[in-house]
Structure 1
């Protein structure tokens, strides 16, 4: 198939698919492996089990991304949406594991995935709760809440004894400059690879500075076998299942916001039918995750910023990312190479990517009328409450666990607040489909 105009359904030549796809993988890798590491530490699992969790996660990330980007039947949104493990599930999974073990975690995940799959057509009816003022606010909130991730990466990563050192910040800043100047002065294909070039160049500079090395690559195994139900057949504790269902309700809200953000960037209308297909894919991927020793899946907001930076809209680029993730899961040596990218380098690129999400939200809100209505206070309060966990991470520690799942996610609580205030001030929006803002 020949290359078409830059649209969501454009098929690019294989070299471009690989390069753009690899760029997405490098941008999301740190976030993709974070949840398995956290759960393994919480459960005091041995190193070999941690490796299994990471490879299973990468493998299932790839499957989930292929389901979402390629789609089949009424499953998958057919948009460039990278899938990864949701951080909203970390707290509940750690609690379930401490009380009932790993098998109860996977039992709860499988049931919650089935629940998500089945309620997708009903939840998708809520698309009318997302008029332009709400979607523009949510896109902005996503970018604001992701920015601290890039800042922490740039400092060297949480827990790094050299966090905030001149070496880490300098390395991140150099990477940032490489991304900016490549984006500004390179043309066409090379310009669109500004983030990938920044990550590679930053890693090479880090090696020259002695900040990173590839010794771990030699220790990694060549091939990894993903064994279903490695920790044993799932067990079902209904309190655990209920808490995981609450997590998936939160995930559905986040997925809706991410889907609309991507639809805005790639000029594809996300209506009731499309949203139902996207949420079904989340549910199916979560079930697969429970079977393959992984976790609940949702859209990775990090990669929304990358699409905004590159303006490469093809869903087949993200499908290529899915193939790369599957290979990383099957061949640990490849995963080890990617893992050698320093956090500071990721942070330098992340500043640009996440900032672009904020800019996209502001651009969307620029199309919204703020005269003689309540839209200004809607945006102000929604963004304000979304920043509470950023300013004071322990702010909600005294609240019940079920409430913390909602409140500690700035993206989720800010999104829910925007929806509620829109209903309060403006009533139910007309029509059941999102009309793209600023479509050219």
Structure 2
């Protein structure tokens, strides 16, 4: 637990853009380990298992860019309220799994990358079974129908069914597999667009050069005509 607390506090300091060395960092580590130990002692006195720090909070800080302590205080307050009042906890549990804020954060991360045709296929193919698992939670129940006496094999099949019926798990699993097996190729549409733009740009440049050449020729012709007319009027030219 102590090693986990040190690692989590260091990662939290890093994503919060705080120093990860020096006296202030060491003081932060000492306070975090002490608080973690006290929380574990108090939790055992309340007939529950020892508690520890959560590394998942670092991902929340990275996405939201918010590392204020007041947010942690508010979260602890609501957790206490949910533990004391069952109705409030039931209202929180009734929130659907597909939370809009998480989806928007994911789309923001995806939009910040170079989105090729391959990436669009991987995203679509991985989201399809994930959304299906959310809409139809028991869609994978009929795949494994083992009725034997081998409890280990039955537990293995149950674990597979549990993973496949979890929307986040099946989406991440399929996305990782497709990202590994599909070859890295450039987007053909983008290449075609670049070729078209280069062709059109070169054609426009050639047209401008021809136009400039014609204008220069017209200017030279007018200059020659003016020179001839002026020389014809000048008596000294005879």
TM-score range, shorter chain: 0.3 to 0.5
Of the two, which has the highest radius of gyration?
2
Flag the structure with higher helix content.
2
Question: Looking at both structures, which has the greater relative contact order when contacts are Cα pairs under 8 Å and sequence separation is at least 6?
Answer: 1
TM-score normalised over the length of structure 1: 0.25
